[in-house]
Amino acid sequence: MVDFHCHLDLYPKPVAVVNQCKEKQLYVLSVTTTPSAWIGTSRIAKDCPRIRTALGLHPQLAHQRSHELEMFDALISEAKYVGEIGLDGSKDFKPFMEAQLKVFRHILKTVNQAGGRVMSIHSRSSASAVISELATCDCIPVYHWFTGNKSELQQAIASGGWFSVGPSMLSTKKGQELVAMLPRDKVLTETDGPFAQFKGNSLMPWDVDLAFIQLAKIWNLDKNDAIEVIQGNFRRLVSFA
Ligand code: MN
């Protein structure tokens, strides 16, 4: 199973979570929210080849952490994956859009110069802007928990985007409608734990299992066939990394 967007370092006991992922042979993209978190977060998964740590600077922190861009640039050669990055146009973060854009553009330029990366992308209330910024970057974007409208989704699909979807997105009607529109060969599963919750509890990486049940329903497949689709997609995606 694959959890392509999880914040392992933000669980109360990250090492215990890593150990369970290892036991369950789970593939995890462990995203970070600041460059300074990347080193320690990589370290807790250093004995787990199935866990990859992505270098990120979360758009909700962009206005406070732009001084860490230098560190981002210094670490990019060691990081095969980038995320969580992007823009957030929701009410609380829209006032910082200028700082967010500065950070996002800097990161895309760095990634371009480094030869491109597979990247986990945040695009809440900013899908159109994110799509147009990404057009400048030679990279593979994986839109995580896409919440834009249908025309924005069509643009993201047309631009070659991939999508990671999880139990939270898949339990809303809007989320289900968006997921039904996705090309099956561009879909991955995620939890966005511990931020994302399901029925009041923080999702654990292995709760990605819930997403397979929901995807199978939408695709009219057996759960095992849905798992196979995602595993095939995952193998194809990591071959680009
Ligand atoms: Mn996240």
Distance 195 CA to ligand 1 centre (A): 7
Stretch 212-227: mean pLDDT, rounded? 97
Nearest-angstrom CA–CA distance, 138 and 158: 15
Nearest-angstrom CA–CA distance, 171 and 70: 39
> Does position 209 have pLDDT exceeding 90, yes or no?
yes
Q: Are 121 and 144 in contact (CB under 8 A)?
A: yes
Q: Are 206 and 18 in contact (CB under 8 A)?
A: no
Distance 61 CA to ligand 1 centre (A): 12
Q: What is the pLDDT of residues 138-181, one digit of tens each?
A: 999 999 999 999 999 999 999 999 999 999 999 999 999 999 99
Stated as kind and residue range, the H or E segment containing 35 is helix 35-44
Position 240 scores a pLDDT of: 87
Position 234 scores a pLDDT of: 98
Residue 81: strand, helix, or coil: strand
Q: Residue 40 — very low, low, confident or very high, per pLDDT cuts 50/70/90?
A: very high
Nearest-angstrom CA–CA distance, 17 and 232: 25
Q: Residue 63 — very low, low, confident or very high, per pLDDT cuts 50/70/90?
A: very high
Distance 191 CA to ligand 1 centre (A): 9
Which letter, b or e, does each residue of 127-137 get, where b requires 16 or more Cβ atoms within 10 Å of its Cβ?
bbbbbebbeeb
Nearest-angstrom CA–CA distance, 200 and 121: 25
Nearest-angstrom CA–CA distance, 129 and 148: 11
Q: Are 117 and 80 in contact (CB under 8 A)?
A: yes
Which letter, b or e, does each residue of 67-88 get, where b requires 16 or more Cβ atoms within 10 Å of its Cβ?
ebbebbbebbeebebbbbbbbb
Position 156 scores a pLDDT of: 98
The environment of the single-atom ion ligand 1, i.e. residues with CB closer than 5 A, is 84, 192
Structure tokens at 54: 């992505």
- Per the model's pLDDT, the better-predicted residue between 199 and 157 turns out to be 157
Distance 154 CA to ligand 1 centre (A): 22
Distance 218 CA to ligand 1 centre (A): 24
Position 238 scores a pLDDT of: 95
Give the burial class of 157: count Cβ atoms within 10 A of its Cβ; 0-12 exposed, 13-18 middle, 19 or more buried: middle
Averaged pLDDT of the chain: 97
Distance 83 CA to ligand 1 centre (A): 9
- The residue to which tokens 């931020």 are assigned: 195
> Does position 57 have pLDDT exceeding 90, yes or no?
yes
Structure tokens at 155: 């643009």
Q: Residue 241 — very low, low, confident or very high, per pLDDT cuts 50/70/90?
A: confident
Distance 6 CA to ligand 1 centre (A): 6
H helix and E strand count, the chain: 11, 10
